[in-house]
């Protein structure tokens, strides 16, 4: 009855089909109210299903334009919503009447055996987009309709909300993750960081492009917890008030896709050869690093250190520490088809490597199969997971030498420094800073691990992207029939080349990725494949 009443305010906009995909639901912010209301209903049911544990809802569209928005559900361990619930989300947000909506929820309750008498607890947060307040209001009304207990987390980075959920649900247990407050988050990260860099003061300043998003606010808070004697940071693109500034010519996605500095940064005072920089995305769950080999005005000066390079740096470092510590655990790495071929080759010589389809949930689950699972998408979204057994071994191993003791201590602090719930720009930034500081490396030394193969990512607009069906972790097309054979034929004409085609999970397009051993041949290959697709 309550749902029927509340539904009147949240009819589905006509002529639109929403999908709960790799990044939850994402589209123009001004047509998302009905989806937010309905996702709130489902989140309350999810909490009930999990025995009243806290679950989360995050309103953000990450690296997308400011006018876009989205909503993602967070499960009780601080991870993405269990995938078997995603189809119910899609059905609920597409229901055309209160009756249809209630039928979807009834079906969910029955199939998933949800006990409606269990109380629900849901926390919600949002990024800096102008449509957030209106969408959060819809979330609040949905939760009220379900009689859920709610916690308003307010402005948060996506990984902070994941942290809060995990910390709340593990409070007072042997797996306690930290104090379940925003301050608790900074406290946990900064204490671990201080231990790891003790006696190694920073030699240089890190420039951070905050994408004019929530990361600017979070970084400012983090700086209150880490003194300058331990971390020197210069935050740029921190304007969260000016309309249209978010992700505009800046941010991790812009830098990775265009393989260049944020727009206009080359003119900024103090940006010069040798500078180490990084960029967050709009909700601060991604990070890419880069540095300047020469004058900032010259395009060739720019060198990208993307998610693959971060994964290689982290996997190598952890592998060394584990060996030095004498703990019987294995480090593994998870990538997607977008990983640069050179990075895969480099990693495979050192650790076991798995390839999964795009989307963090796939990588996350694959990484759980390793004792220490390093996972990163090339675009900079990733983290490292330590299995419970691995954590236990690290804590219980008695060191056989001072060097082993030091390695064990480092591993213990790294477990705290890394946000294991999801990719986290702030935590990943601290991790990279720790590793560089420990090795006394500059970016050039980090970069020298391997040379990226020249690569290109293109968007192709097609009539129906759902006609494109893939297999083998998205590396091969099975539909439209015959297209893969044509792609293979074209790729074979180029030296050390690779290309694949897949439908985007977040935009209405098909993506073409191409890599070629010879830089001069890359455009011809990428455009050739795009032509086959269009």
Q: Which residues sit in the known binding site for substrate?
A: 377-379, 502-506, 511
Cβ within 8 Å of residue 398, ≥6 positions away: none
In the region spanning residues 351 to 370, those forming contacts with ligand NG1, defined by CB under 6 A, are 358-359
Rounded CA-CA distance 176/169 in Å is 8
User: How many residues at the interface with ligand NG1, by CB under 6 A?
Assistant: 14
In the region spanning residues 308 to 347, those forming contacts with ligand NG1, defined by CB under 6 A, are 338
Instruction: Give me the helix-helix angle, 33-49 and 98-111, nearest 10°.
Output: 20
Point out which span in 78-86, 98-106, 340-348, 503-511 binds ligand NG1 (CB under 6 A): 503-511
The least distance separating ligand NG1 from the CB of residue 278, rounded to whole angstroms, comes to 17
Dihedral pair phi/psi, residue 398, rounded to 5°: -95, 130
- Which of 506, 441, 498, 447 lies closest to 472, judged by CA? 498
Q: Which residue is nearest to Zn ion (CB)?
A: 62
Partner whose binding site includes residue 377, from ligand NG1, Zn ion, none (CB under 5 to 8 Å by kind): ligand NG1
The gap between the terminal CA atoms of the chain, to the nearest Å, is 48
DSSP labels for 191-248?
A: HHHHHHTTT---SSPEEEE-TTSHHHHHHHHHHHHS-TTT--EEEES---SSTT-TTS
Partner whose binding site includes residue 23, from ligand NG1, Zn ion, none (CB under 5 to 8 Å by kind): ligand NG1
Q: Is 515 in the site for Zn ion (CB under 5 A)?
A: no
Q: Is 285 in the site for Zn ion (CB under 5 A)?
A: yes
The least distance separating ligand NG1 from the CB of residue 503, rounded to whole angstroms, comes to 8
With respect to ligand NG1, which residue has the nearer C-beta, 34 or 62? Answer: 62
What element of type H or E holds 159?
helix 158-170
Rounded CA-CA distance 469/453 in Å is 26
SS3 label, residue 73: strand
Partner whose binding site includes residue 285, from Zn ion, ligand NG1, none (CB under 5 to 8 Å by kind): Zn ion
The least distance separating Zn ion from the CB of residue 282, rounded to whole angstroms, comes to 6
- Given 34, 35, 43, 62, which residue is catalytic? 62
What element of type H or E holds 491?
helix 483-491
Q: Is 62 a catalytic residue?
A: yes
Q: Is 62 in the site for Zn ion (CB under 5 A)?
A: yes
Partner whose binding site includes residue 505, from Zn ion, ligand NG1, none (CB under 5 to 8 Å by kind): ligand NG1
Contact (Cβ atoms closer than 8 angstroms) between residue 80 and residue 364: yes
Rounded CA-CA distance 353/61 in Å is 30
Contact (Cβ atoms closer than 8 angstroms) between residue 189 and residue 101: no
Q: Is 507 in the site for ligand NG1 (CB under 6 A)?
A: yes
Residues making up the binding site for Mg(2+): 62, 281, 283, 285
Cβ within 8 Å of residue 111, ≥6 positions away: none
Contact (Cβ atoms closer than 8 angstroms) between residue 311 and residue 380: no
Partner whose binding site includes residue 506, from Zn ion, ligand NG1, none (CB under 5 to 8 Å by kind): ligand NG1
In the region spanning residues 171 to 190, those forming contacts with ligand NG1, defined by CB under 6 A, are none
Dihedral over Cα of 451, 454, 460, 464: its sign: negative
Point out which span in 137-145, 171-179, 280-288, 499-507 binds Zn ion (CB under 5 A): 280-288
Cβ within 8 Å of residue 492, ≥6 positions away: none
With respect to ligand NG1, which residue has the nearer C-beta, 22 or 160? Answer: 22
Dihedral pair phi/psi, residue 412, rounded to 5°: -60, -45
Mask for 156-175, x = binds Zn ion (CB under 5 A) = --------------------
The least distance separating ligand NG1 from the CB of residue 70, rounded to whole angstroms, comes to 9
Q: Is 281 in the site for Zn ion (CB under 5 A)?
A: yes
With respect to Zn ion, which residue has the nearer C-beta, 285 or 377? Answer: 285
Partner whose binding site includes residue 281, from Zn ion, ligand NG1, none (CB under 5 to 8 Å by kind): Zn ion
User: How many residues at the interface with Zn ion, by CB under 5 A?
Assistant: 5
190, 193, 195, 201: CA torsion to nearest 10: -110
The least distance separating Zn ion from the CB of residue 99, rounded to whole angstroms, comes to 36
Contacts with Zn ion by CB under 5 A lie at: 62, 281, 283, 285-286
Residues annotated as catalytic (active site), given as ranges: 62
Contact set with ligand NG1 (CB under 6 A) = 22-23, 62, 338, 358-359, 377, 379, 381, 504-507, 511
């Amino acid at each position: 009855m309550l749902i029927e009443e509340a539904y009147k305010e949240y009819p589905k906009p006509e002529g639109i089909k929403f999908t709960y995909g790799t990044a939850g639901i994402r589209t123009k912010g001004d047509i998302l109210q009905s989806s937010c209301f309905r996702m709130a209903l489902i989140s309350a049911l999810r909490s009930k299903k999990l025995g009243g544990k806290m679950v989360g809802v995050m309103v953000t569209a990450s690296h997308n334009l400011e006018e876009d928005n989205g909503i993602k559900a967070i499960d009780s361990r601080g991870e993405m919503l269990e995938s078997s619930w995603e189809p119910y989300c899609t059905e609920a947000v597409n229901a055309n009447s209160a009756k249809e909506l209630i039928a979807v929820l009834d079906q969910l309750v029955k199939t998933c055996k949800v006990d409606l008498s269990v109380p629900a607890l849901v926390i919600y947060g949002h990024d800096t987009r102008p449509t957030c307040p209106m969408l959060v209001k819809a979330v609040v009304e949905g939760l009220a309709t379900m009689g859920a207990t709610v916690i308003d987390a307010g402005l948060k980075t996506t990984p902070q909300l994941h942290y809060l959920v995990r910390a709340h649900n593990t409070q007072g247990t042997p797996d306690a993750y930290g104090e379940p407050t925003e301050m608790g988050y900074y406290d946990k990260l900064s204490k671990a960081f201080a231990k790891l860099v003790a006696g190694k003061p920073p030699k240089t300043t890190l420039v951070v492009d905050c994408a004019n998003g929530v990361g600017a606010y979070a970084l400012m808070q983090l700086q209150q917890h880490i003194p300058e004697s331990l971390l020197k940071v210069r935050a740029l693109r921190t304007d969260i008030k000016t309309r249209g500034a978010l992700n505009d010519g800046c941010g991790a996605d812009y830098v990775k896709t265009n393989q260049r500095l944020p727009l206009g940064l080359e003119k900024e005072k103090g940006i010069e050869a040798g500078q180490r920089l990084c960029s967050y995305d709009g909700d601060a769950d991604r990070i890419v690093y880069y540095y300047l080999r020469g004058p900032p005005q010259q395009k060739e000066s720019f060198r990208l250190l993307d998610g693959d390079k971060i994964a290689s740096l982290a996997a190598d470092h952890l592998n060394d520490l584990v060996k030095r510590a004498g703990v019987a655990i294995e480090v593994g790495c998870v990538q997607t088809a977008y990983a640069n071929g050179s990075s895969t080759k480099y990693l495979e010589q050192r650790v076991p490597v798995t390839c999964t389809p795009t989307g963090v949930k796939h990588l996350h689950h694959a990484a759980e199969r390793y004792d220490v699972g390093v996972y990163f998408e090339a675009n900079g979204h990733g983290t490292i997971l330590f299995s419970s057994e691995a954590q236990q071994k690290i804590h219980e191993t008695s060191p056989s030498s001072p060097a082993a003791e030091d390695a064990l201590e480092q591993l213990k602090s790294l477990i705290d420094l890394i946000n294991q719930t999801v990719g986290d720009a702030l935590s990943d930034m601290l991790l990279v800073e720790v590793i560089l500081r420990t090795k006394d490396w500059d970016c050039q030394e980090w970069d020298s691990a391997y040379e990226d193969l020249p690569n290109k990512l293109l968007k192709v607009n097609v009539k129906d992207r759902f006609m494109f069906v893939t297999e083998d972790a998205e590396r091969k097309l099975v539909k439209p029939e015959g297209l893969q054979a044509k792609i293979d034929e074209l790729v074979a004409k180029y030296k050390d080349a690779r290309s694949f085609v897949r439908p985007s999970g977040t935009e209405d397009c098909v993506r073409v990725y191409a890599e070629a051993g010879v830089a001069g041949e890359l455009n011809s290959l990428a455009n050739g494949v795009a032509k086959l697709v269009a």
